[in-house]
Amino acid sequence: MDMLILIKENIRHKKGSFKSIICLMFLISLSVTAIVSLKQNFPRSIREAYERQDVGNIVLNIRKEYCTEEGIREIEDYETVKKVEVIDAIAPDTYEFENGEGGSYSFRISAMNDRVDRLWKEDLSGYEENVLPLGKGEIYIPRGLAEKNHVRVGDRITLKFKDTSHVYAVKGLVEEPICGSVFITLKAAFIGREDFDALRSEREAAAQKDPLNAADLYEYVYITKADDCNLTDNQFSSDLTKNTKMASYASGLLTKSDSLHYQGMMPDIILNIFLSFVIILSVIVFVVMANSISSGIEMNYTDLGILKAQGFDSGSLKLLFLGQYMLAEFIGTVLGMLCSLPVIRYLPRVFEAVVGTKIYGGADILLSGLILLAVLLLSAVFIMLVSVKVGSISPIKAVNGGRMEVYFDSRFNIPIRGRLLSASLAFRQFSAGARRYLSSIAIASLFVFFLMTMTGMTDAVDSESAQRAMGATSEDIDIYRDYVEYSPENTENVLEQEAKIENLIREYTEIEERYFSDGKYMLLNGEKIFCRISEDEETFTVTKGRAPLYKNEILVGQAYAEDMGYKIGDKYTVSFKGAEAEYVISGFMVGLLDAGHFFGMSGDGARVLAEDYIPTYVGFKIKDPEKTGEICKRLEEELPESYYVEDIEAMESSEGELLTVIAYAIKAVIYTISILFALVVVSTVCTKTFVREKTDIGIYKALGFTSGNLRLQFAIRFLIVAFFGIVIGSALSFAFSEKLLSMMLRSMGIVNFVIDYRFMTVFLPAAAVALSYFCFAYMIAGKTKKVEVRSLITE
Amino acid sequence: MKKEIIQAKGLSKSFAHNGGQIHVISNVDVSVYEGDFTVIMGASGSGKSTLLYALSGMDRATSGEVNLDGKDIVTMNEKELAGLRNTKFGFIFQQIHLVSNLTIFENIVVPGYHNRSDSRAEVEKLAESLMEKMNIKEIKSHLPAQCSGGEQQRCAIARALINKPSLVFADEPTGALNRRNTTEVLDLLTKCNEEGQSILMVTHDQRAALRATRILYLEDGKIVGEMTLPPYKAEDEKSREKQVGAWLSSMEW
């Protein structure tokens, strides 16, 4: 009972600290509950969509000419396969919406089927179960494609083929869980059965006339594993591709688990970023508590000593601190959990635009509760440890007026200057009690570190050098051509066109870099993964080992190699369209292709598998990018129809745009939370400092200083604190930010995140922290007005 | 005729207490003159310190006026009062109140730097001479915690004098000191007064009051008696003690 009375009184007298802890724990609890719940709800919702649509475990995307009855039978007969379903598809050369946006490849049209059983409502709040049949000239597209191209229901899409084009009206947005995500290149759309049959017949006839048109005819092959097969989706895929032939000819292979990985990649990364931020915030709460308890003991030395004199032992006093802080934390935690409910309900809407699938589910109270309970327990141990100081309180000393503050010479002292009096007095106040500001410095440095990390991440979106270091290439002009079976004549023709392209570009400007390359899905050790083939080996971003020098060498994406346990010097078999050869891993590389799950070889290496291999793609970086438009126009006029020219700047990748928006949104949220946290932290520390220095404030006032002078002094002192935090935080960022980002973005294939440190990368976080500290301290120091010189009078 | 430094008329100060008002000083008319060492005496709770702080603008009077150079300091805003405290007045407190993280020298020069009317070099030169006079030059770079109470109070006197104030207010300046330090501090204040410095001191120490040239006696917030004395001389201390003692007895001290 006596403890309860004391706890109640302590809370009443220290409302400020109590409120701060409630606020900080509220933010943490809200974030933890939202993040944990969303992390559970994402994969669960996507998996449910897979189950409902019965999408199988593997989807092959294969040209019709390679999808033979014999090949299908071989898969059907394989022991671990339960079911194979083949769905006809058509691949237009390009597609374009009426708003001008569109794409050039990886777009497949199928006939409407029973799998498509849910349409997004017009307000995108959920699904309509009643999917109306498609009439002539109508098309359903997945939401991911609509978001990527800023399309609305009713807009028109033109599917372009070499010899013709067809226009359809978008009737609705469908759920397409396998490749509906904005970040999966392949996109599926659906037209009515009648339209599809007519289009398919037309493309078959066109293919007979010109073999180039055979590339318009595709098949989706859905493969489901047997009920008794215990292999994971990827093991099943690997086993199947090793033991059957058809997968080696497929343009793409996507397992359900890979699809889930790609779908959830972006939300997962975002949630992981926030989770690491929350961990930092939790550390900050602990630091604030330590500061609050420690200064509380110093400032209430007399009261605590009197309590000791009345028979309270150190254990009871520790319980007193534990009780009041745990109560504050508990209140904050419960409030945070309650307020997370609307966040969990509405926040997924932001991610639904990215994944294209509705995210269901409420708060995962159990898991979040367990995590928060662990935080509370950890903090209880921490409070007990910090409050161990009460053991040294002496009742005799306490009743004799408590422990007076004693200052000693500090090595950091600088002389008091007449000119910069406020600043030098502020520095003295800081240096004389530097120990007291350690927690504020630590907090400022953590903020600066995290804000610099986030700024570095968002800066990378538009930093060419950072992107290059992470394996991206930068071109001004991309040119690719229709695939034609490799032959000496084709090679000759391509080289001739290549020479023509280069000459034509040189008429306008110099070519700075050329990327003569290709990308093919091949089997590496039985796994169907993307292979980047480059005629210019130096364009690979090698992280370990070296680029392939010999034709039997390959580079493997570092993230993939680490996942698979591949080492430099290992030998593996690579298969492509029935041919196979053994290659040695000469090194590891980085790149964003298929989230880092890719490998690379030289053109000569590719020619081991296909003798007359010649790349279908060439990219150019030119000296005068302003001439890009002009050059592209001229190339389009001069090159044959089977060549496609892209002006990279004019195209403005929608994925890139979305990534930028997401990155900036994360940065904005993190800056906002940091500033709010800084407000609470600075308020707590300032209030305590203020109470401690009330007499000094009175003395300065008696000497003729105004409240304004003293407020400025107070704010400058916290600016100095922020400065030290900025220095330490920047050093931490230089040492660890890239490592932290590499860890967080590993699922994207980025294992060596490179921050291109620019002025703003350091200045922005530094300014945010410095300004927050300065302004909030200035705000809190408004209380100096209330300090009367009369307080110095002893009567 | 002596020149008035400050002149208070109808000065009152009340505090709210338990829903009512406590009148600590009521309707006081008083002047402080140039060159005087004025001492305010009275029993505990008579309102001595309250009167001192009301006269100095440290605390606002509830009513009445305090004129300084033709201006009423009761109606001055915070900035004007701060300026006044810095340039016109000096303060010495019973609890000394030095800034604990500044050295003795810095404690003295800070109000001088803040004043800005003298150059930094002039302020430092004056501080050096004041330290010499107060006999604290040896400890100029010590922090207050490293000095004795007497040394600290001498530093506080030097700080009060750094801006060459018209009037120094001293609130029980020897209240926290031992006998030896008390004598040292009183000798210094007397010396300053002899050199022309006007002082207004509150004390309930009869020995301290002997240094005065004018004593005001306060009772229940009102000035009930006043006595004037010639300038203090050590050799006259015995007779002065008798004279003041007799007067204080008449005041029912």
Q: Which domain holds residue B135?
A: 34-58+77-250
Q: Tell me if B238 is assigned to some domain.
A: yes
Record the tokens describing residue A163, joined without a space.
Answer: 């010899």
* Amino acid in position A236: F
Please indicate whether, in this complex, the C-beta atoms of A794 and B79 are within 8 angstroms of each other: no
Q: Tell me if B171 is assigned to some domain.
A: yes
**Confidence grade of residue A644 (pLDDT, cut at 50, 70, 90):** confident
Please indicate whether, in this complex, the C-beta atoms of B143 and A704 are within 8 angstroms of each other: no
Return residues 399-438 of A near B (CB < 8 Å): 404-409, 415-419, 421, 425, 428-429, 432-433
Give me the residue from B58, B111, B175 closest to A789, CB to CB.
B58
The stretch B205-220 carries a mean pLDDT of 92
Q: Which stretches within A89-170 are classed as H helix? A: 143-149
- Rounded CA-CA distance A540/A519 in Å is 13
* Amino acid in position A609: L
Q: Chain A: residue nearest B24 by CA?
A: A795
Give me the residue from A416, A433, A793 closest to B53, CB to CB.
A793
pLDDT in tens, B165-193: 999 999 989 887 888 888 988 999 999 99
Please indicate whether, in this complex, the C-beta atoms of B58 and A416 are within 8 angstroms of each other: no
Domain boundaries defined on chain A? 1-54+265-404, 55-262, 410-471+656-795, 483-641
DSSP B145: G
* Contact predicate A78/A138, CB 8 Å: no
Record the tokens describing residue A345, joined without a space.
Answer: 């309900």
Comparing A532 with A514, the larger pLDDT belongs to A532
Comparing A576 with A649, the larger pLDDT belongs to A576
pLDDT given for residue A104 in this prediction = 67
Other Cβ atoms within 10 Å of A305 Cβ, number:
21
pLDDT in tens, B54-76: 998 888 889 999 999 889 998 99
**Confidence grade of residue A306 (pLDDT, cut at 50, 70, 90):** confident
pLDDT in tens, B89-101: 999 988 888 998 8
The tally of domains found in chain B comes to 1
pLDDT given for residue B160 in this prediction = 93
Q: Reply yes or no on whether the pLDDT at A795 is more than 70.
A: no
Interface probe, candidates B40, B50, B110, B122, chain A, greatest A C-beta count within 10 A: B110
- Rounded CA-CA distance A670/A27 in Å is 12
CB burial readout A519-542, b (16+ within 10 A) else e = bbbbbbbbbbbbbbbbbebebbbb
Q: Reply yes or no on whether the pLDDT at A584 is more than 60.
A: yes
DSSP B73: G
* Contact predicate A94/A644, CB 8 Å: yes
Q: Tell me if B14 is assigned to some domain.
A: no
Phi, psi of A568 (to 5 degrees): -65, 135
Range with lowest mean pLDDT among A418-427, A459-468, B18-27: A459-468
pLDDT in tens, A311-324: 788 888 888 888 88
DSSP A772: H
**Confidence grade of residue A610 (pLDDT, cut at 50, 70, 90):** confident
What does DSSP say about strands A643-647 and A511-524: parallel, antiparallel, or unpaired? unpaired
Q: Reply yes or no on whether the pLDDT at A407 is more than 60.
A: no
pTM exceeds cut of 0.80: no
* CATH number of the domain where residue B234 is located: 3.40.50.300
pLDDT in tens, A500-525: 898 999 999 998 888 888 888 888 98
Interface probe, candidates B62, B102, B177, chain A, greatest A C-beta count within 10 A: B102
pLDDT given for residue A448 in this prediction = 93
Q: Would you tell me the crossing angle of helices A707-744 and A438-461 to the nearest 10 degrees?
A: 50
Give me the residue from A405, A406, A421 closest to B113, CB to CB.
A421
Q: Reply yes or no on whether the pLDDT at A167 is more than 70.
A: yes
Is residue A124 helix, strand or coil?
coil
Q: Tell me if B46 is assigned to some domain.
A: yes
- Chain B residues contacting A via beta carbons under 8 Å: 44-45, 49-50, 53, 58-59, 78-79, 82-87, 91, 93-95, 97-102, 106, 109-111, 113-116, 120, 123, 143, 145, 159, 171-172, 175
- Rounded CA-CA distance A742/A733 in Å is 13
Q: Reply yes or no on whether the pLDDT at A106 is more than 90.
A: no
Q: Using CA atoms in the order B183, B187, B188, B191, what is the torsion angle rounded to 10 degrees?
A: 170
* Contact predicate A436/A295, CB 8 Å: yes
Q: Tell me if B72 is assigned to some domain.
A: no
Show Cβ contacts of residue A241 under 8 Å, excluding neighbours closer than 6 positions: A247, A248, A253, A523, A526, A527, A528
- Rounded CA-CA distance A448/A724 in Å is 11
pLDDT given for residue A399 in this prediction = 64
Mean of per-residue pLDDT scores for chain A? 85
* Contact predicate A269/A749, CB 8 Å: no
Q: In chain A, what residues touch B94 (CB-CB under 8 Å)?
A: 794
Q: Which residue has the tokens 């010999």?
A: A550
* Contact predicate A523/A560, CB 8 Å: no
Q: Reply yes or no on whether the pLDDT at A614 is more than 90.
A: no
Please indicate whether, in this complex, the C-beta atoms of B101 and A433 are within 8 angstroms of each other: yes
- Rounded CA-CA distance A578/A363 in Å is 50
Q: How many residue contacts between A and B have a Cβ separation below 8 Å? A: 105
Does the structure's ipTM exceed the value 0.85? yes
- Rounded CA-CA distance A380/A390 in Å is 16
Comparing A101 with B98, the larger pLDDT belongs to B98
Distance in Å, alpha carbon of A287 to nearest chain B alpha carbon: 25
pLDDT given for residue A687 in this prediction = 83
Q: Which has the closest alpha carbon to A514: A617, A637, A644?
A: A617
* Contact predicate B203/B218, CB 8 Å: no
DSSP states of B195-240 as a string? TT-EEEEE---HHHHTT-SEEEEEETTEEEEEEE-PPP-GGGHHHH
* Amino acid in position A573: T
Return residues 427-486 of A near B (CB < 8 Å): 428-429, 432-433
Q: Which stretches within A518-651 are classed as H helix? A: 558-564, 603-609, 628-638, 648-651
Q: Chain B: residue nearest A708 by CA?
A: B79
Please indicate whether, in this complex, the C-beta atoms of A419 and B120 are within 8 angstroms of each other: yes
* Contact predicate B134/B154, CB 8 Å: yes
